Amino acid sequence: METAKKEQRVLDPRIDMDRLPRHIAIIMDGNGRWAARLGKTRAQGHEAGARGVRLAIEACRELGVDALSLYAFSTENWRRSATEVNTLFRLMSKYIHKEIDEIDKHRIRVRFMGRWEGLPARAVKDLRYCIERTQNNRAMDAIVAINYGGRAELADAARAIADDAAAGRLRPQDVDEQMIARRLYVPDHPEVDLLIRTSGEMRISNFMLWQISYAEIVVLPILWPDFDKQALCDAIVAYQGRSRRFGGRPETKRKGASC
């Protein structure tokens, strides 16, 4: 925490270090529009987006955030052209190889959220390598959502519960919220406190539907390739200015919530 406090002074003195979001999720949007504005290709836009990923991970680590979830590829993104999809997976592999040493050095654990089925073999290999290499790290979790859909995640959880019920391992009347939460792709994280979306779009696009039920949403006008540490700090400052109620009175504090 001492290091985090020192970093925070450098990052943004407006941030109250005692009320940090424990789990931040980001919908990284706007690579295509960024490229179009500069007369570049969509592929160049995605390439430029890699910098934002690095800065988001770095800033969260420096501040002392426990978990950062990043929406990299949705179950709906398969609707894009084969060329764009291939580019995205090629860039993911490139990113992993370029950044893995730095990520591991800072004791960051990389986790995966999504459906493995349907991913290109190369992406599976690189992701598995990254996950296995960092599995014992505990400084921060970076959870990458690839081939991820919030509805798919809930459908997969429902199927797992139905399998257990059919095999006699549980009774339908035992199904409750905790049981569903335990069957999500990454079950052992605090719920999302702060959800950030770039590019000004006011929508969720099927991201973490269960986990964001009481997240504070901050939509930034900037496009993802322009995202930097200051943008993250601005979002945290906005989050800290909110009054979280969880359905109760303003002073109600839900167990486990940090703000």
Choosing from 12, 16, 18, 29, the catalytic residue is 29
Contact between 73 and ligand IPE (CB under 6 A)?
A: yes
Q: What would the x/- binding string for ligand IPE be over residues 175 to 194, using CB under 6 A?
A: --------------------
242 phi and psi, to 5 degrees?
-85, 155
DSSP assigned state of 32: H
| Binding positions for ligand IPE, 126-185, rule CB under 6 A | none
| Binding positions for ligand IPE, 197-216, rule CB under 6 A | 199, 201, 203, 205
Distance CA 86, CA 80 (A): 10
Contact between 74 and ligand IPE (CB under 6 A)?
A: yes
111 phi and psi, to 5 degrees?
-125, 160
Contact between 90 and ligand IPE (CB under 6 A)?
A: no
Min CB(27)–Mg ion separation in Å = 9
Site size for ligand IPE (CB under 6 A): 18
Min CB(29)–ligand IPE separation in Å = 5
Residue 225's alpha-carbon distances to 47, 51, 189, 222, 237, in angstroms, are 9, 7, 28, 8, 21
Distance CA 83, CA 96 (A): 20
Q: Is 137 a catalytic residue?
A: no
Contact between 47 and Mg ion (CB under 5 A)?
A: no
Residue type, 178: Q
The stretch near ligand IPE (CB under 6 A) out of 14-22, 73-81, 123-131, 249-257 is: 73-81
Contact between 44 and ligand IPE (CB under 6 A)?
A: no
214 phi and psi, to 5 degrees?
-125, 25
| Binding positions for ligand IPE, 215-244, rule CB under 6 A | 224
- Cβ distance 207 to 190 under 8 Å? no
Contact between 77 and ligand IPE (CB under 6 A)?
A: yes
Range list of H helices, 194-259: 229-240
- Please, which residue, 15 or 50, has the CB nearer to ligand IPE? 50
Contact between 32 and ligand IPE (CB under 6 A)?
A: yes
SS3 letters across 90-152: HHHHHHHHHHHHHHHHCCEEEEEECCCCCCCHHHHHHHHHHHHHHCCCCCEEEEEEEEECHHH
Min CB(62)–ligand IPE separation in Å = 24
The stretch near ligand IPE (CB under 6 A) out of 55-63, 70-78, 123-131, 185-193 is: 70-78
Q: Is 77 a catalytic residue?
A: yes
Query: Which option in ligand IPE, Mg ion, none does residue 201 bind, with CB closer than 5 to 8 A by kind?
Result: ligand IPE
- Interface residue with Mg ion among 25, 26, 29, 56 (CB under 5 A) is 29
Spatial strand order in the sheet of 108-113: 108-113, 140-148, 67-74, 23-27, 194-197, 216-219
Contact between 71 and ligand IPE (CB under 6 A)?
A: yes
Cα maximum dimension of the chain: 59
Which active-site residues does the annotation give?
29, 77
